Structure 1
Amino acid sequence: MEKLMGTPSRYGLEVPERCLQLIHALWGEAERAYVRGQEALGPLTTTFLLGMATPIITLPIERVERHRGKEDIAYLNERPLDEWVANEVDRVLVKGRLGQAAFFEEGQWRFAAIPYRGENLAMQFPNELREALSNDDALAAAANLPASQWSSCLRNALAHGGVLYLDRDGYHEHGQRAETLAFLSARYPKYSMEEYADCAPLHGKRDTSKPPEQLMVLSISERGLLCFLERWVGWLGQSGLAQRLAA
């Protein structure tokens, strides 16, 4: 008889826990999986971790934090399921800084930003950005980031494919063993009153029809990402996102 998966009562809150359980159960298998002919580059743990990290990170952001103030028009909104949960997510992700969050661990996340000069990061990783990330200032910059900016950068990178593998020295080189993940995002100029005077709702919003003004990158090692996911899901549980399911 076919076994059916239990349907989550809160998809955006329970699926991250299930994904973490899959990491625990299948990590040993991932350590034994290699790209055929490229065994020297190491196992597919980075790929596996990234695949599991995407729903673990994005689902709570998309279904709880992103609908703040939009409850009446959001069609996949889990905020009404628990007001206490919504308030806790707002307190941490909207109003706090990354370094203040329970899921933050010192020395793991790095953040850097440079002006955009036409680079295509699918083809080259700017040395200026690599050097900025390798500096200890990048650790302090990440800790001081508004948590809302951190979650937005991370969510955008995962949702839009803005992820690069970096080697131990911070280079994005084909054929090198990946040890760090870089999550890329961009800051676009705002619509101007002069150009769009006839469309008031656009004013103050980002104009993605123009080139970005700034490139931003968050980076974390593979081992650091695994530790973060443990802390992130643990925070979700402590916040009541998982524990209140039985209430």
Structure 2
Amino acid sequence: MKATFLLSVSMPIVILPVERILKYKRRPSEVHMNDAVLNPTLADAVDKGIDLEAKVHLADFFTGPWQFASLEKGAGFPNLAADGLPEAIAAQLDTPDAVEDAKNLSANRFCKILRNALAHGGILYLDEHGRSSSASPVRRFAFVSTNDPRNPTKLLFLRIGMADYRAFLQKWIDWLKTAAIDEMLARDVGLDATEAADAIVPEEAAKAVGV
């Protein structure tokens, strides 16, 4: 229940800035729900933060430790709903290289994996060892996406502990608040960044950016 609630809460927090702001900034012809016009400062901050090429560990919203692995399609993708996380992928995610590979994803790719997994139910509940287990409490998540929605050739996996995922969500909210709300107050109210940060509490900031 706790795992499902955490994911449910995180869906609008992660999806809306990507789907209704970033997509408009980059592919406006595909968008019919455009929040970017409601707060251009926030829209610019999201576009700048979710860089197409820059490594995600350089982004202000990043916190780890995330682990990344990929699986070639080959003759076909496995049925993760029935079979769970493949052991070969779980073992790959256990390696130190998996942490480095996650940190070195582009911010754009990282956010797309999260967005697609949350939007399409591509999330695996894992035990404390990072394995699929129906008999053990949920302690980790694996977010799963394809590399290309039109012609997928790989499955992409991001794994993280529940507590670390919650910390990431807080950092994501703090990033939105700092990047947009402080600047908006400085512009519209005449406060500098430090004064602006003191003038708004986290709960109010979350409401202001719709999270």
Partner of 2:96: 136
Contact 1:237–1:243 (CA under 8 A) maintained in structure 2: no
Show the counterpart of 1:234.
Answer: 174
Indicate yes or no: 2:143 matched with 1:183: yes
User: Are the counterparts in 2 of residues 236 and 242 from structure 1 also a CA contact under 8 Å?
Assistant: no
Q: Give 1:104's aligned residue.
A: 62
TM-score (norm 2): 0.79
Task: Say if 2:81 is the partner of 1:122.
Answer: yes
**Overall identity of the aligned pairs, in %:** 33
Write out aligned runs for 1:71-82 (5 A).
71=28, 74-82=31-39
Measure, in 2, the Cα distance between the counterparts of 1:69 and 1:170: 35
- 1:152 CA displacement: 0.7
TM-score, scaled relative to structure 1: 0.68
Q: Per the alignment, in what secondary structure is the counterpart of residue 80 of structure 1?
A: helix
**Hey, what does 1:146 align to over in structure 2?**
106
The answer as to whether partners of 1:170 and 1:180 remain within 8 angstroms in 2 is: yes
Amino acid corresponding to residue 57 of structure 2 in structure 1: G
Alignment partners' CA distance in 2, 1:162 and 1:241: 32
Moved more, 237-246 or 175-184: 237-246
Output one character per residue of 1:106-164: Cα deviation in whole Å (capped at 9) or x when no partner. Answer: x4211111212431111122111101111111111111000110111111101111001
The residue aligned with 2:150 is 207
- Within 1, Cα distance between the matches of 2:103 and 2:150? 28
- Report the CA distance shift for 1:63/1:207 in structure 2 as closer, same or farther (over 3 A): closer
Read off the aligned partner of 1:153 and give its amino acid letter. Answer: I
> Does the CA contact (< 8 Å) of 1:162 and 1:185 recur in 2?
yes
C-alpha distance in 1, partners of 2:182/2:117? Answer: 25
Q: Would the aligned equivalents of 2:23 and 2:31 in 1 still touch at CA under 8 Å?
A: no
* Corresponding letter in the other structure for 1:139: V
Give 5+ residue unaligned stretches, structure 1.
1-43, 189-205
Q: Secondary structure at the match of 2:142?
A: strand
Two-structure CA RMSD over aligned residues (Å): 2.1
Shift of 1:231: 0.6
Cα distance in structure 2, aligned partners of 1:113 and 1:73 = 28
**2:124 paired with 1:164:** yes
Say if 1:179 and 1:242 are closer, same or farther in 2 by CA, change over 3 A. Answer: farther
Q: How many angstroms does 1:98 deviate by?
A: 0.9
- Per the alignment, in what secondary structure is the counterpart of residue 234 of structure 1? helix
CA–CA separation in structure 2 for the residues paired with 1:154 and 1:46:
16
Q: Structure 1's 159 and 242: CA in aligned 2 closer, same or farther, altered over 3 A?
A: farther
174 and 152 in structure 1: CA distance in 2 versus 1, 3 angstrom threshold: same
**Number of aligned residues:** 183
Name structure 2 gaps, 5 residues minimum. Answer: 189-211
Partners in 1 of 2:184 and 2:72 — Cα distance? 44
* 1:66 alignment partner in structure 2: 23
Which AA in structure 1 matches 2:41? W
